Structure 1
Amino acid sequence: MLFLTVAVVSAALIIGAAWGLWGKLPKGLEGFMVAMAGGALMVSVTIELIQPALQQTSLIELSVAVAAGALVFTGLDWWIEKQTEGSEGAGLLLAITLDGIPENLALGVALIGAGVPEVAALAGSILLSNLPEAAGGAKEMREGEMGRGRIMWLWTGTALILAAAAIIGNFALAGVDDEVLALIRGFAAGAVTASLATEVFPQAFREERYGTGVAVTLGLLIAFALSTLSGG
């Protein structure tokens, strides 16, 4: 079940990249999907990461871990943007990789001791996020005159890196103490939350404008429904 879930989520990057290179992608639709995925991730972060972590550690320790995750993501995101300014392809790919690593690490951690239905909201929201992000990223790289073959190889490599993050999160952390695992969940939750604020929602608003609020709400409701059905 682990490998099937990881394969589906990671394959969304490759499918999205192909969609962006050869398919038609209206900006409004892309923004709507990104916003919907962001809304779903808000629920997933709370139900699949923060709530389980709070059962294994104190609120103060968890808060520190969440804040650390947000600070680390924000700092690295800022550094990458400064280092790759003027190079849209490299900067965007690095930003999505940085965003995806904590998401997929969180997916791997969430799968420890749980069946796929119990993490349906988290896996589904990551999949929904990967599709439009990869499509938009590949389209932007192509506009920068990068070859289609090179773009597909880059996105395939990114998918493999993110799949590895999920598998490492599941196997390497399986025997870790519950309190340590809770702090790791909190760190991942902070990183994903920061990525929503700095990467996902601003992009969605630029492309969809005021429909963004409706899309975020729809994504939130879908993720909540999935979590309820899976008993989360």
Structure 2
Amino acid sequence: MLLTVLVIAVVSAALIAGAGWGASGKISPRVEGFVIALAGGALIVSSVLELVEPATGTAPLWAVVGCVLAGAGVFVAMDRLVARRLGSNSGGGLLAAITLDGVPENLALGVALIGAGPLQVASLSGSIFLSNLPEAAGGAREMTQQRSRWQVMALWAGAAVLLSLSALAGNLLLAGVPGTALGLVRCVAGGAVVASLATEVFPQAFKEESYMAGFATALGMVLAIGLDQLG
């Protein structure tokens, strides 16, 4: 349990650290784009190897496919609703969109930590950390145009608490779920993570870093595969 709390705390702390980085005005958009793409590449591998692939050994293929698509569909619908109601590029809309991205990622992290050793979840937790850091930095940078730095930091601290609770909920509430059902829950989370990469992460990375985002994505994939092999 101590390992679970520690991993969740470190991953969520990336939101606060990133917000401080962005609010200070010292972040380079190109660096931000490169790190976002790097994290996205790592999350592709992690979502497949840690969330989706294990379920194929215990559940029917049609159930795995259905759960992945369901997770992606729910994320896309909610993400679109946030963009329409609040606007995805400024103020509360940007914070809401990034928080929405983080809920399935942290839920997946909490579920993946059930019965797993540190190396088995290193690629997933590491890639989520790398994703949270520049996303929060970019969001805080935009929000400082409308709010004070203290207000921005308070909002991101609240988001970090919310995402920590999501990870803990995934870990505690699903600890006694049978293996097959747990695998399918991971598939739902995996589908949501993949959808967030396509709609939020990679477009932002390309916007900031252009074609080098492609190299950064491949680098992230290689790093995640390397971490998985250590486990």
Name the TM-score class by shorter chain: over 0.9
Q: Distance in 2 between matches of 1:190 and 1:85?
A: 24
* 3-state SS, counterpart of residue 14 of structure 2: helix
The Cα offsets for residues 67-91 of structure 1, whole Å up to 9 and x where unpaired, read as 0000000000001100003871111
Report the identity percentage. 54
Q: Superposition pairs for residues 47-58 of structure 1, below 5 Å?
A: 47-58=49-60
Counterpart contact for 2:88–2:94, Cα < 8 Å:
no
Q: Distance in 1 between matches of 2:195 and 2:33?
A: 18
The Cα offsets for residues 13-40 of structure 1, whole Å up to 9 and x where unpaired, read as 0000000011511111100000000000
The Cα offsets for residues 87-135 of structure 1, whole Å up to 9 and x where unpaired, read as 7111111111111011001001101011121100000000000000000
* TM-score for both structures, normalised by structure 1: 0.97
**1:204 and 2:186 are equivalent in the alignment:** no
Unaligned runs of 5+ residues in structure 2 are: none
Counterpart contact for 1:2–1:116, Cα < 8 Å:
no
Query: Which among 10, 28, 34 is matched to residue 8 of structure 1?
Result: 10
Report what 2:190 is aligned to.
Answer: 189
Report what 2:162 is aligned to.
Answer: 161
Q: Distance in 2 between matches of 1:161 and 1:116?
A: 23
Q: Distance in 2 between matches of 1:15 and 1:35?
A: 19
Q: Distance in 1 between matches of 2:94 and 2:55?
A: 31
* 3-state SS, counterpart of residue 25 of structure 1: coil
Q: Distance in 1 between matches of 2:160 and 2:136?
A: 10
1:180, CA displacement in angstroms? 1.5
Q: Distance in 2 between matches of 1:3 and 1:55?
A: 29
Report what 1:85 is aligned to.
Answer: 87
Report what 1:103 is aligned to.
Answer: 105
Report what 1:220 is aligned to.
Answer: 221
* Aligned residues between the structures: 229
Counterpart contact for 1:38–1:216, Cα < 8 Å:
yes
* TM-score for both structures, normalised by structure 2: 0.97
Deviant stretches of 4+, over 4 Å: none
Mark the CA change 1:39 to 1:132 in structure 2 (over 3 Å): closer, same or farther.
Answer: same
Q: Give the aligned CA root-mean-square deviation in angstroms.
A: 1.0
